[in-house]
Amino acid sequence: MRAGAESSGEVWVMVEAKADDGGVPPMPAAHPGEVPDMVAAAVCVVDEGGAITWANVYAQRLLGRDAAALVGRDAHDLLHRDQHGQPLARASCRMTEAFLARDARAGSGWFERGDGSLVELAWLVAPCAPADGHADTMVIFTGLHPGLEGPGPSAELGPTLSELERLALLAETTTQLTSTLDTDEALRRLVRLVVPRVADWAVVDLITELDEVERAIVVHYEDGAFVTREELQGPMPPVPENSPMPLSRALRGAASTLVTPETYQGPPDTGVAIEQQRLFEETGMVSAAIAPIRGVRDVLGALTLGRSKGRAPLTGADLSLLDDLTRRTGLALDNARLYQRQRKVAETMQRHLLAQLPSVPGLQLTARYVPAPDDSQVGGDWYDAFTVADATTALVIGDVVGHDLDAAAGMAQVRSMLRAYAWTHHEPPSAIVQRLDASMTHLTGVPTATLVFGKMERNADGTWCLTWTNAGHPPPLLITHDGRADYLTEDHGLLLGTGLAPTRSDATLTLPPRSTLVLYTDGLVESRDRPIDHGLDQLRKHAASLAHRPLAAFTDLLLERAQSGGRRNDDDVAILALRTPEAETTHNLRSERP
């Protein structure tokens, strides 16, 4: 029996009986099966094939199964489980390994009772040689729940991980954390890997890029579910320079250490110590281990794993596992932060390159730019509107193929070239785009791009006329004030950069009074979970229903509804929207013309 185990616990003795002829031997008077009748212990007899051949009343009570449910069943498949109740692979079963090695070994494990509940037991395997000559193996299980009323985790042993389980946990941690570049998602994955496998509580304190401390995560595993204690999360006091308290030292990069509630029972020396007192009082942790989360150059935070009453305290043996976990966490957070910095630079660059919309008498103009979600990269989407030398108003929506800084830089080059051609050449949109296409591959590093380029001109009668050309881009959407919405699909040509020098043409349309024209990029209508045709149909319906809204509200709601139903854009989204004036305003503008 393991040292320190309570003597009041039940003992389960499992005997693996082996016969020289490979069969199941009869049960003579001296057979180990008689042992259960001499001691108040739960005993099963298992043949060399692993099947249970006999179980006494103690074993039946311990496992919550009668003899009929035990005899003839494979002991490993029927009983052995991991701490989550999942079937345990034979290759991971230390008890099976001990049977095969036939030497004295000790360990602990989880076993499933007849009602589906788990009981955790310490076990001791010892080979023995009974008088009848059979090579038997005796396994003694010590449980700490007399009477088996409400079996639960062992208060003495806790979930000790085998070396194989430890390596599997570290390998899974590496895979899970390196497969995301989102800091919050990486921390959520870490918590679900270590709780409840290693601890009941997980607490993550992060040092932000402004050198402030934030308690980002306080999570508890209770009744089979993860419970977030949001009231314990939030800003923390600054890291003290000289405090000897464990969390303060960890946030300065000191080695991992074990902590108990008594550690913080004295007068607090800093604000961090006050928060730690509150943490232990609110969570009820009886033991904890704290380790720094180190990046390549800096300390990024600290990880605290805690156990509640009813589980064995964390020991020094757990610190090496904690150090391995935080080392992997630090590398993952470093990569995520580096990615976020780069992405922020690209997004800032792109926003600064996007044009300020001109003020055009009689027209309303608005634009929106929404970067892709965190698990994607900034793209080359852009919008533009500017007054041309011939007194027309140019409108552009475009998308440069590529991602991140390359796409943003390529977008800036294409946008500048298009502006220059439009200003210096008083030509139709198709001719301007033809010039851009011919020079783009020679003067820029952009492989391909799509765009819609149009010119708005006021007619003599005060109405507004749109002339445009489309180079492989989603078609503009025109919505009348009475809610009719149609795509402008005329003169849809090839995208830019193909090297084919296609002949491009223009389309012309007089826009009705109080109508809305929407130019957009494909991120608004296309995603991994739906085809673009479906997105176009939804956009048309949403736009029609919003036709009466003010232009700014129309654009915001269009974005919101396009991402409804849990859908998020996988790509950047750029929108340029304009609205023509009312008929009365159109008449007034006409009378003002010289």
State the DSSP code for 263.
G
d(CA 44, CA 376): 57
User: Look-up: residue for tokens 């038997």?
Assistant: 136
Residues 420 and 534 in one domain: yes
| Of the candidates 481, 183, 546, the residue with the CA atom closest to the CA atom of residue 334 | 183
Residues 380 and 486 in one domain: yes
Is 293 within 8 Å of 326 (Cβ atoms)?
yes
Domain with 124 in it: 11-148
d(CA 54, CA 47): 9
Q: Is residue 521 in some structural domain?
A: yes
The total number of structural domains in the chain stands at: 3
- For residue 156, give every residue at least 6 positions away whose Cβ sits within 8 Å of its Cβ, in sequence order, or none: 4, 5, 6, 122, 144, 312
pTM as predicted: 0.50
Residues 389 and 249 in one domain: no
**491 φ/ψ sector (left φ>0, alpha ψ -120 to 50, else beta):** left
Residues 457 and 529 in one domain: yes
Q: Is residue 1 in some structural domain?
A: no
Residues 127 and 75 in one domain: yes
Phi, psi angle pair for 258, to nearest 5°: -90, 145
Strand partners, 188: none
Burial class (CB in 10 A: 0-12, 13-18, 19+), 430: buried
Q: Is residue 153 in some structural domain?
A: no
Alpha-carbon dihedral sign for residues 531, 533, 538, 540 = positive
Q: Is residue 61 in some structural domain?
A: yes
d(CA 541, CA 538): 5
Residues 513 and 423 in one domain: yes
Using CA atoms, how far residue 21 sits from 17, 18, 134, in Å, is 12, 9, 11
Q: What is the pLDDT of residue 470?
A: 97
Residues 313 and 412 in one domain: no
How long a stretch of residues is the chain? 594
Greatest distance between any 2 Cα atoms in the chain: 123
Is 110 within 8 Å of 84 (Cβ atoms)?
no
3-state secondary structure of 411: helix
Residue 347 structure tokens? 């997004």
Burial class (CB in 10 A: 0-12, 13-18, 19+), 473: buried
State the DSSP code for 65.
-
3-state secondary structure of 117: coil
Strand partners, 439: none
Residues 82 and 188 in one domain: no
Q: Is residue 155 in some structural domain?
A: no
| Of the candidates 497, 532, 511, 407, the residue with the CA atom closest to the CA atom of residue 454 | 511
Q: Is residue 348 in some structural domain?
A: no
Give the side-chain half-sphere CA count within 13 A for 71: 9
CATH number (domain holding residue 116):
3.30.450.20
State the DSSP code for 313.
P
What would you report as the CA-atom Rg of the chain, rounded to the nearest whole angstrom?
36
Residue 182 structure tokens? 């989102």
Domain end marker among 113, 148, 183: 148
User: Digits of tens for pLDDT over the chain (594 positions)?
Assistant: 333 333 333 444 444 444 344 333 333 333 444 444 444 456 777 776 677 777 777 677 777 788 888 888 887 888 888 776 778 888 778 777 766 766 666 667 788 878 777 777 666 666 655 545 555 666 666 554 443 333 333 333 344 577 778 888 888 888 888 888 888 899 999 999 999 889 999 999 999 888 899 999 999 988 888 999 999 999 999 998 889 999 999 999 999 999 999 998 888 889 999 999 999 999 999 999 999 999 988 999 999 999 998 888 888 888 989 999 999 999 999 888 887 777 777 667 666 667 789 999 999 999 998 877 654 455 688 899 999 988 899 999 999 987 666 777 788 889 999 999 999 999 999 999 999 999 987 888 788 999 999 999 999 888 999 999 999 999 999 999 999 999 999 888 999 988 887 889 999 999 999 999 999 999 899 877 778 899 999 999 999 999 999 999 999 999 988 876 545 556 789 999 999 998 754 444 444 443
Is 135 within 8 Å of 19 (Cβ atoms)?
no
Give the type of residue at 466.
L
Q: Distance between terminal CA atoms of the chain?
A: 106
3-state secondary structure of 375: coil
Angle at Cα 582 formed by Cα 581 and Cα 584, nearest 5°? Answer: 120
d(CA 541, CA 536): 9
d(CA 214, CA 203): 11
Strand partners, 234: 215
Residues 263 and 186 in one domain: yes
d(CA 564, CA 236): 35
User: Which parts of 388-427 are beta strand (E)?
Assistant: 393-400
d(CA 591, CA 216): 63
| Of the candidates 205, 165, 163, 189, the residue with the CA atom closest to the CA atom of residue 291 | 205
Q: What is the pLDDT of residue 379?
A: 67
Residues 117 and 87 in one domain: yes
Residues 378 and 285 in one domain: no
Domain end marker among 310, 343, 376: 343
Residues 90 and 207 in one domain: no
Q: Reading across the β-sheet that carries 105-112, which strands appear in turn?
A: 52-55, 41-47, 11-17, 136-142, 118-128, 105-112, 80-81
Q: State the pairing for strand pair 449-458/234-236.
A: unpaired
Buried b (16+ CB within 10 A) or exposed e, 389-399: eeebbbbbbbb
User: Which parts of 223-351 are beta strand (E)?
Assistant: 225-228, 234-236, 257-259, 285-294, 299-308
Q: Is residue 93 in some structural domain?
A: yes
Give the type of residue at 57.
V
Q: Is residue 456 in some structural domain?
A: yes
CATH number (domain holding residue 447):
3.60.40.10
Residue 151 structure tokens? 């079996």
Burial class (CB in 10 A: 0-12, 13-18, 19+), 104: exposed
Q: What is the pLDDT of residue 441?
A: 78
